[in-house]
Amino acid sequence: MKESYAAVAATAHPLAGREMSGAEILVQVLADEGVDTVFGYSGGAILPTYDAIFVHNQACERESRPRMPLIVPANEQGAGFMAAGYARASGKVGVCLVTSGPGATNTVTPVRDCMADSIPIVVICGQVATAAIGSDAFQEAPVASIMGSVAKHVFLVTDPTKLEATVRTAFEIARTGRPGPVVIDVPKDVQNWRGPFQGAGRLPVPGFRHRMNRLARNSLGEAECERFFAMLGEAKRPLIYAGGGVVHAGAAHALRTFATEHDIPVVTTLMGLGAFDTTHELSMHMLGMHGAAYANYAVEDCDFLIALGARFDDRVAGNPRKFAANARIAHIDIDASEINKVKTVEWHHVGLLDEALEALIAYGRRTGFKRDRSQWLEHCAALKRVHAMNYDRASPLIQPYHVIEEINRITRGDAIISTGVGQHQMWAAQYFDFKHPRLWLTSGSMGTMGFGLPAAIGAQIANPDRLVIDIDGDASIRMNLGELETVTTYDLPVKIVVLNNCGDGMVKQWQKLFFKGRLSASDKSLHKKDFIKAAQADGFKYAVRLENKADVPRVVREFIDFKGPAFLEVMIDPDAGVYPMVGPGQAYDQMITGDHIPSRHRAEIQAPGESEMF
């Protein structure tokens, strides 16, 4: 994400010099930043700002200007995930507005989730009056201390004259460099203060601006391009490993151009889905713990791995020493701390990914670089044929993969897909196509259950004319089930699928594999919920339970074609698993492919070490 830091003459703001309250100033800056929707829940310490938005919207109606709608969730965690879904689906900064104390602490999980996945949101929290901070006042929480370890940056505004500059700076920090969440804690007396609106200005933050200027200036030179192409020229089996940074950088077009001009297959991370069209012949889809077997085998076979906006995380490089063990590695990323953090690389560039790819494309064209990749492409095509995704298609039970394939057959890779976290998340990643970036919304690094439904709401607000589908699980959706009412309150045409296996499916899969089938606390708590009645109680006109395999095509078509909010519960095979699977800390030659995907290794199921994560 690039922003100009050159000194320019500021055009005078039409409202400069007008006296406003702090709350009015805050709202005006939101409008200036292009905020068109605010997600949040009100409360005592943030009431002045909510009132200022109400007044702002009244003025907009009188003057025929775009309003700034307030979307009210069931709780503040939902608001945070709605802002995140909005940001993920639009590329703009999402805004969440909550009160002090529990209002603020309920957003800790979305803030950490956004930090982990590099998502730009601004969370504005009300706070008790400045004089009361530290006195354990009613609904007080030490927001700066709590959020400081999970956000990209936190501001506590105690000087009202700096409020305006602080809000502008928060947006700047959230969207530039490696994106992330910024929190602004605003005491109530600062919101009620009155003073002149400046119409311009940001905080100094010299260290941050220095880093951003350095990134913007750090372009790929001729010598660096020459070194890169020397490695590419020597390679017989190059492979691109594309992460979420490609999406954040708006570099999908450049990636496609580079890959197609040099005939290089592409694997993507979970967060990188959509960065490269999964229906393209060069796409090897997703790699990693639950990636396609053929994608992981391509990583094993490649001799030059080009990592773009990816960080070699533990879900991809479970055993770093054995990951891409036969390959030289080149790495482009905006975050210098990611270079050589997990894997030592032979070539790297820290800078803006889109510009770096354009520089490589230009160099390749200028020098007439070309290599015959036909043997490698044939090898990758064979991997895709032999080790294709598959499942028990003859089973009389409804297989979750079949349901997703049916939806995908209708949507053809053009729908926005949001998910909760668990088995359904991985099935969706494996069996959906994504032709473009920002169609795939999921909680990747944090793996936060309850993400799917509120994120879908945010995505639908950002894209009112797009088909938005939440693929969820019975356990995951229950975490934020209250947001069903938010869907119908705002009459959003979100489509919600609950793949119901009556329990925590992913936990059960691990317990079966690694804990001798002892289903401790994973299959006893999710049998009584009637999701159809819950959806109907919240106003869904279409709420259907699908139980017969023969009905899948018809019901899925009805569900997708329904005008308005729709809810579909599918009773799936409770023993359906997620395969392939690479155990934590293990290498790709230990990948378990299940009963229906051919494996080229004789892999034994091995329990992860005691120190390995879930």
Q: What is the reported pLDDT for 523?
A: 74
Alpha carbons 12 and 199: distance in angstroms, whole number: 7
Q: Cβ contacts of residue 224 below 8 Å, gap of 6+?
A: 347, 349
Matching residue, tokens 């020493």: 321
Which one of 82, 127, 147, 188 is the catalytic residue?
188
Q: Cα–chain-centroid distance for residue 192?
A: 36
Q: What is the reported pLDDT for 604?
A: 66
Q: Which amino acid is at 298?
A: A
Q: What is the reported pLDDT for 9?
A: 40
The DSSP annotation for 439-485 comes to: -EE---SS--TT-HHHHHHHHHHH-TTS-EEEEEEHHHHHTTTTHHH
Q: Is 369 a catalytic residue?
A: no
Sequence-ordered strand ranges (E) for 77-167: 94-98, 121-127, 153-156
Phi, psi at 350, each rounded to 5°: -105, 115
CA-to-CA dists, residue 419 to 355, 362, 488, 582, angstroms: 31, 38, 19, 21
581: DSSP letter: B
Tokens read off for 341: 């953090």
Tokens read off for 492: 């959003």
Q: Which amino acid is at 64?
A: S
Q: Where are the alpha helices (DSSP H) in 538-576?
A: 552-561
Q: Cβ contacts of residue 561 below 8 Å, gap of 6+?
A: none
Q: What is the reported pLDDT for 326?
A: 94
Q: Cα–chain-centroid distance for residue 115?
A: 10
Tokens read off for 463: 């894209």
Q: Is 446 a catalytic residue?
A: no
Q: What is the reported pLDDT for 613?
A: 52
Q: What is the reported pLDDT for 521?
A: 81
Q: What is the phi-psi region of residue 450: left when phi exceeds 0, alpha when psi lies from -120 to 50, beta otherwise? A: left
Matching residue, tokens 């809810």: 567
Q: What is the reported pLDDT for 522?
A: 81
266-268 and 328-333 beta bridge pairing: unpaired
Which one of 76, 140, 164, 569 is the catalytic residue?
76
Q: What is the reported pLDDT for 524?
A: 61
Phi, psi at 389, each rounded to 5°: -60, 140
Biggest CA-to-CA distance, the chain: 74
Which one of 82, 147, 271, 506 is the catalytic residue?
506
Q: Is 76 a catalytic residue?
A: yes
Q: Cβ contacts of residue 436 below 8 Å, gap of 6+?
A: 252, 274, 277, 413, 414
Q: Is 430 a catalytic residue?
A: no
Q: Cβ contacts of residue 373 below 8 Å, gap of 6+?
A: 238, 262, 263, 264
Alpha carbons 194 and 203: distance in angstroms, whole number: 20
For the four alpha carbons of 444, 96, 142 and 201, in that order, the dihedral sign comes to positive
Alpha carbons 474 and 513: distance in angstroms, whole number: 21
Tokens read off for 293: 């077997």
Sequence-ordered strand ranges (E) for 257-413: 266-268, 283-286, 304-308, 328-333, 347-350
Of 385, 172, 430, 171, whose CA–CA distance to 290 is shortest?
Answer: 430
Q: Which amino acid is at 237?
A: R
CA-to-CA dists, residue 9 to 6, 173, 201, 263, angstroms: 10, 21, 12, 46
Q: What is the reported pLDDT for 77?
A: 98
Q: Is 506 a catalytic residue?
A: yes
Q: What is the reported pLDDT for 11?
A: 74
CB 156 within 8 A of CB 130: no
Which one of 2, 139, 224, 536 is the catalytic residue?
139
Low-confidence ranges of the chain (pLDDT < 70): 1-10, 524-526, 603-614
Q: What is the phi-psi region of residue 103: left when phi exceeds 0, alpha when psi lies from -120 to 50, beta otherwise? A: alpha
Complete domains list, the chain, with CATH? 19-215 (3.40.50.970), 231-386 (3.40.50.1220), 400-571 (3.40.50.970)
Which one of 54, 138, 346, 524 is the catalytic residue?
138
Q: Output the pTM of the full model.
A: 0.95
Q: What is the reported pLDDT for 5?
A: 42
Matching residue, tokens 């203060």: 193
Q: What is the reported pLDDT for 612?
A: 57
Q: What is the reported pLDDT for 181?
A: 98
From the number of C-beta atoms within 10 Å of its C-beta (0-12, 13-18, 19+), residue 335 rates as middle
Phi, psi at 387, each rounded to 5°: -110, 35
Q: Where are the alpha helices (DSSP H) in 273-399?
A: 293-301, 353-367, 374-386
Matching residue, tokens 């947006």: 171
